[in-house]
Amino acid sequence: MLSRVVSTPFRRMTRPAGILQSYSKTQFRFFAGTSKLRAIKPYLLADIGEGITECQIVSWAVKKGDLVQQFDPICEVQSDKASVEITSRFDGEIKSLHYREGEMAKVGSPLLDIDVAGDGELDNTPPVPTPSNQNHDNDIDCTRPDPQREGQGLADKNSAQQTDSISTGSRQNRPRANYASVLTTPAVRRLLREYGLSISDVQGSGKDGRVLKHDITRHVVELQTGRPQRNKEISTTSRSAPEADRRLKLSPIPSHMFKSMTASLSVPHFLYSHTVDMTALADVIKRYKEDKTLASRLTDETGTAVKLTFLPIILKALSQALNKYPVVNSLLDVSESSDGLPALLIKKSHNFGLAVDTPNGLLVPVLHGIQNHSVLTIASEASRLAYLARAGKLSPGEMKGASFTVSNIGSIGGNVVAPVILSPMTAIVGIGKVEDVPAFEVDENGIEQVVKKKKALLSWSADHRVLDGATIARCAQEVAMWLEKPELLGLALK
């Protein structure tokens, strides 16, 4: 009689053939054994900055099965303040990735699992199930499409008929596309594999030339018939139907701005604007640019000639004014005190947050210790921070510690602005565009005449709970004095 041997931890037993079918779907246990010494460690997302609780996975530098060494890059994450590259602390093999690109990772949660060779830690994980029974949500291969998200319609209906129509030789000889490096959807990648096509052979009709599913269908029909097919779906849609609305989830930087601006609603803003004559300052900058010898001598710490603009001189003039009105360079501490009242923390160091417009949103890197810098070093540091902000490479330390904020709206072309205070700071100034305006001037003979002047509008906002209008007005006039007489600003430098 036909029989089958079934293994159990302690005995061998036989089963008649008639009942084999009832056991075919049973999950049997195998011989027990001592747990294998392995060293699979969860690699945790460390705290990358003050107040940061989660980050978005921008890109992975590794995939499952890769061997990494200490300090090799693992991934790049984007917080609400900066972009940070995460590197490996171990030598070993990547066993699994816990997040896909674009997903949010909590600080302190595992980013991936890494098999650290020779560590000798005890791993009591159960035997790995077979692929047919596996449902491991955290084990993600980020270089392959997610089969659960792939579209089934067109491929399931027509794959048998259309695959036979395409020559077998073209499928075998055609180079396979690098799907991980091309921006497509999982459904598109599946269709490419179904038909044995390379994505470089298909002309995309989506945004920025992205290949869509109907592009592949059209390409297959062209191969079968030898005649180009008009994309009826695209032409009909563009002629008769408007574009569909998009629901856009805020990324970390706009989300942080949402929280900051929501908090600013509790601050009573006091607004003050005044016009500053920048004619003398413009003449100084013009002479600096025209004097090639002077420009070559004035360099930054790296020996590079400094490009001089209005901004670094305005920042230095602000610092000089804050020496006289230090209460403007302050932070409001609303934490509970013994008397239940908030406190005003007047900062000794002039740390100016410089608002920078970037492709990812508004960022505010910080120029520390303006009072100890020259105009040229301020220009060099401001240029460096602006470049890092637009490239998304600011470190967390370059985003912290601001005591006063400057918004250079004039670089875009604006004049009047009502800047919003970033708590816990108590003041901010917006710099308008420097432009030519007509003005009246009395010459040496006492004759009034119209002359061309360069002027800019400075717009101030202050927390009216702790700063009064008179203090802001006097501080603003002090700034104007230094800007209108730049030769005095040079005498005051340390």
So which residues are the catalytic ones?
Answer: 464, 468
Q: At what angle do helices 469-484 and 310-324 cross, to 10 degrees?
A: 130
**List of residues 6+ apart from 443 with CB closer than 8 A:** 449
d(Cα 306, Cα 302) in Å, to the nearest integer? 10
Beta strands in 278-402 (DSSP E): 330-333, 343-346, 352-358, 361-363, 366-367
d(Cα 371, Cα 378) in Å, to the nearest integer? 10
Q: How far is CA 96 from CA 35, 43, 457, in A?
A: 21, 10, 56
Q: How far is CA 142 from CA 84, 120, 146, 330, 420, in A?
A: 20, 28, 8, 47, 41
Tokens of 112: 């991936």
195 by DSSP, 3-state: which? helix
Q: Identify the H or E element spanning 441.
A: strand 435-442
Q: What's 403's DSSP letter?
A: S
**List of residues 6+ apart from 118 with CB closer than 8 A:** 39
Burial of 207 (0-12, 13-18, 19+ CB in 10 A): exposed
Please name the amino acid found at residue 169.
G
Using an 8 Å Cβ cutoff, are 127 and 33 in contact? Answer: no
Q: How far is CA 42 from CA 73, 88, 112, 123, 378, in A?
A: 16, 12, 6, 12, 43
Tokens of 172: 């075998």
**List of residues 6+ apart from 359 with CB closer than 8 A:** 390
User: In the chain, helix, strand, coil percent, each to 5?
Assistant: 35, 25, 40
